[in-house]
Amino acid sequence: MLKNFRVVLIALFWLCFVGAQAALFGQNAPDVCSRPAPGSVVTEPEDLRSHNGVLKVDLTIENARQSDGSVRYCYLDKNGKESPNLRVNPGDLVILKLKNSLKDFGADMAVAGSHHMHAASEKNTDPCTSGQMSNTSTNLHFHGLTIPPVCHQDDVLKTSIQPGDQPFEYRFRIPENEPPGLYWYHPHIHGFTKQEVLGGASGALIVEGIERANKEVAGLPERVIVIRDQDLLNPNAPPSKSEPVVPRNLIERDGDAANNGTGFGKPAKDLSVNFVPVPYPDYTPAVIEMKPEEQQLWRVLNASGITYLNLEVLFGHTPQKLGLVALDGVPLNQSGMIGDFIDWQMHLGVPPAGRVEFIVKGPPIGASALLVTRTVDTGAGGENDPNRMIAKIDVSKDAPEPQSTLSASPKPLPPPSLPWLGSVLPVRTRRLYFSEKLLDPNNPNSATEFYITVDGQTPQVFDPQSGVPNIVVKQGTVEDWIIENRSNELHAFHIHQLHFLLVAHNGQPVSEPFLRDAVNVPYYNGRALQYPSVRLRMDFRDPNTVGDFLYHCHLLEHEDGGMMGLIRVEP
């Protein structure tokens, strides 16, 4: 009897131990936020399309702790598919219900945003107004869309959904004049955006009709490619023997591998292609299958938290021409161009949050081909973004076609209703600047505060509870903003609700016939007589821009660290 009792006790102890371990590491649900193995074939996200002018979607955001302590995040549709493509048409109604099923994996998850944490009071549990910011709060930002910054549409200042809440309904209409192209969705909880996006919480949103804007792409198969970054799978591995010897690996203030200026060495983050990881140090490439010499439209989203891309397609060692047709969701010829237009480039720079849509021709049978990213110089204070393979392109006559093909006989889009932004005179010019400050000036490794400041105001870390706008403008106007970089690392400026025109770079006029919603601002080297800058023409003419919304650096550790401002557009 005593022996049996001991057996029962041991069994109960073991069950409790296994249960605790499973809860700790997420092993109770091994398939939650699962990822393919390195070297896998790249598959496309599931397409969820609107029907009869309505797109209805149920999404659940989940997370799962891995055995190495990292935490993965993912959006799952009702069939368990991760990060589906949301496909809509101009004028469609979107009804998206988001369920928060995030788990709290402990205090370590809150370090990045600890000084921003804000708990909802017992009296305010309304997801529209609570403003709660914690490691299990979430919401959605529909990046690039010109929809109102209000609750249930695209507000990220106050809207906060908690794990115990009922599914939260987003309900908005795609504007009739929304440019057809690639947009995306991701969470935007201040102080915690980086951990959710870096863990994989992102997905593509496509406004259909790019072939209506540019008939050069009519009839082409289209491929959606989402490039994400993540913490290194092999952080302690020595560099590959195929790389040249680089200076001693340095760690920058955020704890990532610092830019060493060589183009090689340990990267700050690993990359993945539609969740297929491409890990340091060998960068085993993902596999993209194509028919030989077939032309396709690739729609590439850089959903990275901090990694800049500089994309090339190589046949052997020879870069191939890439036919850029849209940038940040806007077809090039919808802007300052007349007729169909393709901008042929040998490489394409894509900042975090940027999107490029371009024509690619597959290699001939027997040729070796790679999609690579070339090194990006992020400055002495920036992360290391070295040269690396992303995917190899395998060609075969039996390769499957992409799951979507553009219409071969599209009806042309109506002409824009507003004058081209470049022909509109600004009502005023403002100057803003990026800067950083060590909390302990005597300790180069101390925490950093990040600022984006309107010239004349005092640099301050963004306070999401303040509600006091840094900038107030009138809807219907156009302004020029000069954005300076007074720090020693590269920053990527982004603003919600609108696109802008780059009109000057470091004081030199630029003639770009297209719009953006994210742009790099070069770093200050400490020697130049002037700070590096970009001059942007900001478009507040659309009535959907009325309200309070954000502008910030889209390196998410900078955004979470306070490099953000609030703009109010008045009617």
pLDDT given for residue 309 in this prediction: 98
**DSSP string for 307-326:** --EEEEEEETTEE--EEEEE
> Which of 154, 189, 208 is at the close of a domain?
208
Q: Are residues 439 and 494 in the same domain?
A: yes
User: Which residues make Cβ contacts (< 8 Å) with residue 518, sequence separation at least 6?
Assistant: 328, 351, 352, 353, 354, 492, 493, 494, 554
Cα gap 493→553, rounded to integer Å: 5
pLDDT given for residue 30 in this prediction: 55
* Cα dist from 215 to 233, 356, 397, 456, 495, whole Å: 43, 17, 26, 48, 30
In degrees and rounded to multiples of 5, residue 544 shows phi and psi of -70, -10
Cα gap 79→81, rounded to integer Å: 6
CATH number at residue 550: 2.60.40.420
pLDDT given for residue 307 in this prediction: 97
Q: Are residues 101 and 226 in the same domain?
A: no
Cα gap 77→48, rounded to integer Å: 9
pLDDT given for residue 260 in this prediction: 87
Task: Kindly report the number of other CB atoms within 10 A of residue 319's CB atom.
Answer: 14
Q: Examine residue 53 and state whether it is found in any structural domain, yes or no.
A: yes
Q: Are residues 36 and 26 in the same domain?
A: no
203 CA to centre of own chain? 9
Cα gap 214→195, rounded to integer Å: 38
In degrees and rounded to multiples of 5, residue 106 shows phi and psi of 115, 175
Q: Which residues of 233-248 are buried (b: 16+ CB within 10 A; e: fewer)?
A: beeeeebeeebeebee
Give residue for tokens 């075969």: 396
Q: Are residues 128 and 42 in the same domain?
A: yes
User: Which residues make Cβ contacts (< 8 Å) with residue 223, sequence separation at least 6?
Assistant: 44, 288, 296, 297, 298, 299, 402
Cα gap 177→297, rounded to integer Å: 22
Q: Examine residue 412 and state whether it is found in any structural domain, yes or no.
A: no
Q: Are residues 73 and 165 in the same domain?
A: yes
pLDDT given for residue 109 in this prediction: 42
State whether residue 218 is helix, strand or coil: coil
Q: Are residues 425 and 361 in the same domain?
A: no
Helix H or strand E segment including 173: strand 168-173
Report which of 47, 44, 103, 41 is spatially closest to residue 79, judged by C-alpha positions: 47
* Cα dist from 200 to 271, 305, 504, whole Å: 11, 10, 35
Q: Examine residue 410 and state whether it is found in any structural domain, yes or no.
A: no
Cα gap 180→535, rounded to integer Å: 26
pLDDT given for residue 145 in this prediction: 98
Contact 281, 266 (CB under 8 A): yes
- Strand 203-207 vs strand 85-88: parallel, antiparallel, or unpaired? parallel
Cα gap 540→350, rounded to integer Å: 25
Task: Kindly report the number of other CB atoms within 10 A of residue 58's CB atom.
Answer: 15
Q: Taking every pair of C-alpha atoms in the chain, what is the biggest distance, in angstroms?
A: 92
Taking only the tens place, the pLDDT of each residue in 487-500 is: 999 999 999 999 99
In degrees and rounded to multiples of 5, residue 401 shows phi and psi of -75, 150
State whether residue 240 is helix, strand or coil: coil
Q: Quick one: residue 332, left, alpha or beta (phi over 0 = left, psi -120 to 50 = alpha)?
A: alpha
Contact 217, 211 (CB under 8 A): yes
> Which of 208, 236, 251 is at the close of a domain?
208
Residue 287 burial (10 A CB sphere; 0-12, 13-18, 19+): middle
Taking only the tens place, the pLDDT of each residue in 314-371 is: 999 999 999 999 999 999 976 656 678 899 999 999 999 999 999 999 999 999 999 9
Give me the domain span that covers residue 50: 31-208
Q: Examine residue 413 and state whether it is found in any structural domain, yes or no.
A: no
Q: Are residues 251 and 371 in the same domain?
A: yes
Q: Are residues 56 and 123 in the same domain?
A: yes
Flag residues of the chain having pLDDT under 70.
1-30, 107-123, 334-338
Q: Quick one: residue 283, left, alpha or beta (phi over 0 = left, psi -120 to 50 = alpha)?
A: left
Q: Are residues 310 and 238 in the same domain?
A: yes
In degrees and rounded to multiples of 5, residue 197 shows phi and psi of -70, -45
Count of domains for the chain: 4
> Which of 158, 177, 208 is at the close of a domain?
208
Helix H or strand E segment including 566: strand 564-570
Q: Quick one: residue 465, left, alpha or beta (phi over 0 = left, psi -120 to 50 = alpha)?
A: alpha
Task: Kindly report the number of other CB atoms within 10 A of residue 33's CB atom.
Answer: 25
Q: What is the dihedral of CA 377, 378, 380, 381, to 10 degrees?
A: -170
Q: Examine residue 524 and state whether it is found in any structural domain, yes or no.
A: yes
Per DSSP, which regions of 328-375 are E strands? 330-331, 343-345, 348-350, 355-361, 369-373
pLDDT given for residue 266 in this prediction: 94
Helix H or strand E segment including 504: strand 500-505
Q: Examine residue 103 and state whether it is found in any structural domain, yes or no.
A: yes
Radius of gyration of the chain measured on its C-alpha atoms: 24
Helix H or strand E segment including 560: helix 556-560
Report which of 110, 118, 99 is spatially closest to residue 192, judged by C-alpha positions: 110
Residue 108 burial (10 A CB sphere; 0-12, 13-18, 19+): exposed
Q: What is the dihedral of CA 227, 228, 234, 239, to 10 degrees?
A: 50
Q: Examine residue 415 and state whether it is found in any structural domain, yes or no.
A: no
Cα gap 352→520, rounded to integer Å: 9
Cα gap 102→173, rounded to integer Å: 28
Hey, what amino acid is at 416? P
Q: Examine residue 411 and state whether it is found in any structural domain, yes or no.
A: no
Q: Are residues 469 and 540 in the same domain?
A: yes
Q: Are residues 392 and 496 in the same domain?
A: no
Q: Are residues 395 and 432 in the same domain?
A: no
Cα gap 244→264, rounded to integer Å: 7
Contact 141, 197 (CB under 8 A): no
